[in-house]
Structure formats: C-alpha cells, structure tokens
Structure 1
Amino acid sequence: MNGQVLEVVVDGRFGPDLTAALSEFDVEPVGGGRTRIVGRVPDQAKLFGLLELLDELHIEVISVNRLPPEEISPLRGDA
C-alpha cells in the first residue's frame, strides 16, 4: 500500500535534532514562524503516530492536508 502524501503544518520552528528525528519526512520552515512536514503516510497508524509525537512535544498542529503524490521529494518517495 502506497498510502497518501500528507502535509502537516505546525506552529514553531524545528531544530536540527527534531528535523533529524523526522528523517522520513521533508521538514521545512514556512512563513509566519511555522514548519511544514511532508511525507508519504502508508496508513492511519503512521499518521496517528506522527500526531501523537507532536502532541507529546507540545507542538501545535495547524493543519493536516492531503497532497498530490508529485508534491513529495523523489528522495523520500518511499517513506
């Protein structure tokens, strides 16, 4: 199952350690002091795991959006 490509936008900026911990996702800063996390999510369990991690770290999730498959980096297409 290939799953779907999702974008999670959160409030705040990620440091190198958190970015490295999310190595299977593309993590990039966006305007307004927010961070964009993009990656292939094979199932709901993976999505819930990511959202639970963010919650445990007290990182506010602004939005979760489904993206077309071409939005993901070719290097991370099988995350």
Structure 2
Amino acid sequence: MRESPRCGAKTRMGNSCQSPAVSGRKRCRMHGGAKGSGAPLGNQNALKHCEYTREAKEFRKHIRRLLRSGNEMLDNF
C-alpha cells in the first residue's frame, strides 16, 4: 500500500492529496478516480449552437485562408 502511486490533486490547504490513486488512474476515488466519474463521452453541449461541428470549423478555416490571401494581395499591391 505504501508503494502505490499517490493522487496528487491539490487540496484546500494547498498540499497534494496523499491518498492512493485508483488502479489505472492518476487520481484517488475522492478526486475523480471513481468509476463513472468524469465527463460523458462525446460532448453534446458543444453542438448546441453548431459552432464546433466539422462543417463550421472547416468553414471558418476557409474564411481565414481567404482573408489571409486577400491581405497578402493588398500588401503586394
């Protein structure tokens, strides 16, 4: 038990937690190592306003490229 890896999460006192980490994880059961803890797979909230869909990201990337090429053309003019 003494040789097991420690949690290391910051406590309210500012020290690191000294509880043993859950096997296969970096945190103890109190700091997010417990089964079922953490965010659900697939962030559905990111799709709420359609800002982070693949199409929206590609569109913004295309617009940035167009603006960059337009600025370069104006600089050379």
Give the greater-gyration-radius structure (CA): 2
TM-score, normalization by structure 1: 0.22
| Greater strand content | 1
Larger relative contact order (CA 8 Å, sep ≥ 6): 1
TM-score, normalization by structure 2: 0.23
